[in-house]
Amino acid sequence: MHTLDGHRIVVASHNAGKLREFADLMAPFGIEAKSAKDYGLPEPDETGTTFEENAYIKAFAAAKATGLPALSDDSGLCVDALGGAPGVYTANWAEAPDGSRDFGMAMQRAEVALQEVGAVDP
C-alpha cells in the first residue's frame, strides 16, 4: 500500500491541462501533483473496455514505476444513439493519419454515424 510520504502524488497523464486540474485540487491539502510525463514515463496502452479499466491501467503503471501513489481518470464521448460509441475509443475516432488527434474530425465522424442510424437530418 502506498502512502503520501513526502506529500507527492503522480497524475498518470501526459495532459498538461489535466495535471493542472489535479494539482489545483491537491494543493489545498499540501500535496504536490506531478505528471507521468514529469517522471519520463511512457503512456501505457489503454487496453481496457471501460473508462474505469483504462484509468486503473494508467494509475497502476505510474505507481509501479515511481513507487508513489498515483491517480488517473479516463473519459470520452458516449452517444446513446450509437450504442454508447465511441466511448473508450473516442481518442481513436480523433486519430488523424499523421498520428495527431483532431477532435473536430472525431465530431464529424460522430455526425456521419448519427446520420447513418437516422438520428439526425443529413
Residues whose CB is less than 8 angstroms from the CB of residue 120 and which lie 6 or more positions away in sequence, other chains included: 111, 114
Set 5, 24, 73, 74: catalytic member: 74
* Residue 80 annotated among the catalytic residues of the structure: no
The secondary structure element, H or E, covering residue 10 is: strand 8-11
Question: Which H/E stretch holds residue 32?
Answer: strand 32-35
Contacts of 111 (CB under 8 A, 6+ apart): 120
Q: Looking at the annotation, which residues are catalytic?
A: 74
